[in-house]
A and B are shown apart, each in its own frame.
Chain A
Amino acid sequence: MYTDKVIDHFREPHNRGKMEDYSAIGKVGNIVCGDVMWLYIKVEQDESGRDIIVDISWETFGCTAAIATSSMVSDLAKGKTVEEAIAVTNQDVASELGGLPPVKMHCSALAADALNEAIHNYFIQEGREIPAALQERHAHIAKEMAQLEERYAAFTRKSGEKPRGCE
């Protein structure tokens, strides 16, 4: 069901692990729902003053597809300007991996969302004006997360577990 490329990225993921000197972090997903991704970006200005993602890494709790998409999204964003990185979609992530099983497409959305959230946080921290597209997607991610938590509330009836993952 997984392409060879997905398996390759799962076996040898790129840019894995925590980053200490990050500029911003994007946290998406929820452990109760099964996938959590924390994506770290380090942003520096180049000589022409453009914001470049000079380093990127991630920590992921999730399935094969979640780990492979984490790896892929980090490849796609590394070395790009933040504007270019904002344009990375979940479709890009999935197609670069040679496709994902339909039921796993949400994992590629999670990866693209984490990137979006990291950049969103970076803009906030820097006190910059947030581009409309970025803001819109940020709102959409928050809304989807709330829906997911509601859906999973039924499963935690007995354990009384609290969702944790994104703050």
Chain B
Amino acid sequence: MLIPYQFGRISAGDGMNNKIYLDNSATTPLASEVLEAMTPFFQSSYGNASSLHSTGRDAHKAMEQSRSLIAEHLGVTPHEIVFTSGATEADNLALLGTALRTNGGGHMITSRIEHDAVRHTARWLATRGFDVTLLDVDEAGRVSAQDVRKALRPDTLLVSVMAGNNEIGTLQPIQEIGEICRERDVLFHTDAVQAYGKVGLPMDVIDMLAVSAHKLHGPKGVGFLYVRKGVKLAPLLHGGGHEGGRRSGTENIPGIVGLGEATRLAFAEKEQVSARMRQFRDQLITGVLKLPGTRLNGHPTDSLPHIANFSFEAIEGESLIMKLDEHDIAASTGSACSSPNLEPSHVLVALGVPLSMAHGSLRISTGRQTTSHEIEKLLQVLPVVVQELRDISPFKVGG
């Protein structure tokens, strides 16, 4: 039982002790190493990184160490890393920062399956005099690099295609897309929130890349935008000129340190954890597709290792999530009923998944803490709860 936090009375609750948490694409538990790394920066080394005194200098040093560590893992230079409040801000900075450098107007290309941080920003720009091309995807959720080439125009400012999709896990051909953009001298941005620390990223063809710490066992409220040297962005936040004038605001030092440590951990464990995740994913695919009236959404193999998305005929996803929750299993769905605007997942719709099946979707996403016992437990519980819901559904499987 999670006890709600009461201000003025510290009560952390007993958290996830007995829960099977398979919603790691939504957020992840903080790694102990990350918490440990962050702790001194709340009460001991609490300085403002802009201050001249040693307390400030300590904070500044920690921030720059984190920046260097991240840069090193990506094979880029530290100055190219701009810390932000998370990936939503990083994506906004990439798109809006590019748009605001123009005199108004210009063309952008993105896909139909982007995260809302890109999708809604592009949609907003389209209401402000920019032309936006939305690229279709194939039935596995892949953008075609050739479609990017065809969509390019002389006034194209930016192409933004995510590295790996957050709902279905499908990887995008960002190497090819990046090469095409490079050839045509167009900026290429990628939202790498789910891919960072899990799969390789072709940094030599990427101009901007957005990352969030909390998807990687780091803290919430911090992320970064990689901005290739020479790429000019208008800042969204004006103020004290932090982050080389690209993002003002006193730096979130504990968060930045946590992001650094989460990065170190992710890259150190990358091969081992990704291999384990991939094994879990294969096990899930085999196990779930054995059940009648099921389908895998996304690509069977060309995918992020930690995300698997399924649909179940004749049942609705929100009630499936609630049934799993009764068994202390946390997952998520792209069902319309689960979204605040009652619209089905734009990703599943773009894939051409029938709406009835999109309503019955289930996303399972693993983390570094996921065990094979948890995957087995899910595969035991799932057929039972699916049957319970099918028993009360007017639709029959296969009918």
Q: Which of B336, B393, B395 contacts A34 (CB 8 A)?
A: B336
CB pair B340 A62 closer than 8 Å: no
Contact stretch, chosen from B36-44, B120-128, B282-290, B312-320:
B312-320
A126 to B334, CA, bound (A): 43
In the complex with contacts A17-B391, A34-B335, A103-B342, A66-B353 CB distance below 8 A: no
Chain A residues, Cβ within 8 Å of B359: 31, 34
Q: Could you say which residues of chain B place their CB within 8 Å of the CB of A58? A: 392
Which of the four size classes fits the interface of chain A? 35 or more
**Residues of chain A contacted by B353 (CB below 8 angstroms):** 159
Chain B: minimal CB distance from A115 (Å): 15
Pick from A36, A60, A64, A158: contact of B350, CB under 8 Å: A158
Are B342 and A34 closer than 8 Å at their CB atoms?
Answer: yes
CB pair B326–A61 under 8 Å, yes or no, is: no
**CA–CA, A32 to B352, complex, Å?**
13
Interface-facing stretch out of A8-16, A41-49, A79-87, A90-98: A8-16
CA distance A16 to B344 in the complex (A): 27
CB contact between B394 and one of A60, A155, A156 (< 8 Å): that residue? A60
Contact count A vs B, C-beta below 8 Å: 87
Asked if residues B315 and A61 are in contact (CB atoms below 8 Å), the reply is yes
Query: Do B392 and A34 have beta carbons less than 8 Å apart?
Result: no
- Shortest beta-carbon distance from A150 to chain B in Å: 14
The complex places the Cα of A27 from the Cα of B393 at a distance, in Å, of 12
Q: Mark B284-319, 1 if CB is under 8 A from A, else 0.
A: 000000000000000000000000000000111011
Say whether A61 contacts B355, CB under 8 Å.
Answer: no
Instruction: Determine if A61 and B393 form an interchain contact, defined as CB atoms under 8 angstroms apart.
Output: yes
Residue of B nearest to A158 (CB): B352
Given the complex, which residues of B lie within 8 Å of A145, measured CB to CB? none
Query: Which residues of chain B are near A32, meaning CB under 8 Å?
Result: 355-356
> Contact at B349–A62, with CB atoms within 8 Å?
no
Q: Shortest beta-carbon distance, B76 to chain A, in Å?
A: 38
- The answer to whether A31 touches B356, judged by C-beta atoms less than 8 angstroms apart, is yes
**What's the nearest-Cβ distance from chain A to residue B265, in Å?**
34
Q: Indicate if the CB atoms of A159 and B318 lie closer than 8 Å.
A: no
B69 interface contact, C-beta 8 A: no
Across the interface, do B395 and A155 meet the contact criterion of CB distance under 8 Å? no
Chain B CB within 10 A, most for which of A17, A62, A161? A62
Q: Please give, as numbers and ranges, the residues of chain A lying within 8 Å of B356 by CB-CB distance.
A: 31-32, 161, 164
Q: Are A31 and B355 in contact (CB under 8 A)?
A: yes
Interface flags for A1-35 (1: CB within 8 Å of B; 0: not) read 00000010011010011000000000100011111
Are B355 and A64 in contact, with the CB atoms below 8 A? no
Query: Which residue of B322, B340, B351, B352 is within 8 Å of A103 (Cβ)?
Result: B340
- Interface membership of chain B positions 321-332, coded 1 if the CB is closer than 8 angstroms to chain A and 0 otherwise: 010001000000
Q: Is the CB of B337 within 8 A of A34?
A: yes
Contacting residue for B354 out of A27, A66, A106, A161, CB 8 A = A161
Q: Would B316 and A66 count as touching, CB distance under 8 A?
A: yes
Q: Is the CB of A152 within 8 A of B392?
A: no
Question: Is B48 positioned at the interface, with any CB of A under 8 Å from its CB?
Answer: no
B175 within 8 A of A: no
Which residues does chain B contribute within 8 Å of A67, judged by CB atoms?
319, 392
Are B392 and A36 interface neighbours, CB within 8 A?
no
For A156, the chain B residues whose CB sits under 8 A away are 354-355
Contact of B319 among A62, A155, A161 (CB under 8 A): A62
Are A64 and B340 in contact, with the CB atoms below 8 A? Answer: no
Find chain A residues with CB under 8 A from B342 CB: 34, 103, 106
**Is B98 an interface position by the 8 A CB rule?**
no
Q: Which of B338, B354, B394 sits near A36, CB closer than 8 Å?
A: B394
Per a CB cutoff under 8 Å, which of A31, A64, A158, A161 touches B395?
A31
Asked if A63 is at the interface (CB within 8 A of a chain B CB), the reply is yes
Closest chain-B Cβ to A105's Cβ sits at a distance in Å of: 11
Q: Say yes or no: A59-B355 contact (C-beta < 8 A), given A35-B337, A158-B349, A158-B350.
A: no
Q: Are B349 and A155 in contact (CB under 8 A)?
A: yes
A38 on the interface (CB 8 Å rule)? yes
> A63 touching B319 by the CB < 8 A rule?
yes
> What is the distance, in angstroms, from A74's C-beta to the closest C-beta of chain B?
12
A132 to chain B, nearest CB (A): 30
**Partner of A59 from B326, B343, B351, B392 at Cβ < 8 Å:** B392
Binary A-proximity of B80-92 (CB < 8 A = 1, otherwise 0): 0000000000000
With a CB–CB cut-off of 8 A, which chain B residues contact A158?
A: 349-352
Interface hits, B128-145 → A, CB 8 Å: none
What are the nearest 8 A-B pairs in CB distance?
A63-B337, A63-B318, A59-B394, A158-B352, A31-B356, A38-B394, A161-B354, A34-B336
Known: A16-B392, A66-B316. 15 other contacts (CB 8 A): A10-B322, A17-B392, A34-B337, A34-B344, A38-B394, A59-B393, A61-B395, A62-B316, A63-B335, A67-B319, A155-B349, A156-B355, A159-B352, A159-B353, A161-B356
Which residues of B line the A interface, CB within 8 A?
314-316, 318-319, 322, 326, 335-338, 340, 342-344, 349-356, 359, 391-395
16 contacts between A and B (CB under 8 A): A10-B322, A17-B392, A27-B394, A31-B356, A34-B316, A35-B316, A58-B392, A61-B393, A66-B319, A155-B343, A155-B349, A155-B355, A156-B355, A158-B349, A159-B355, A161-B355
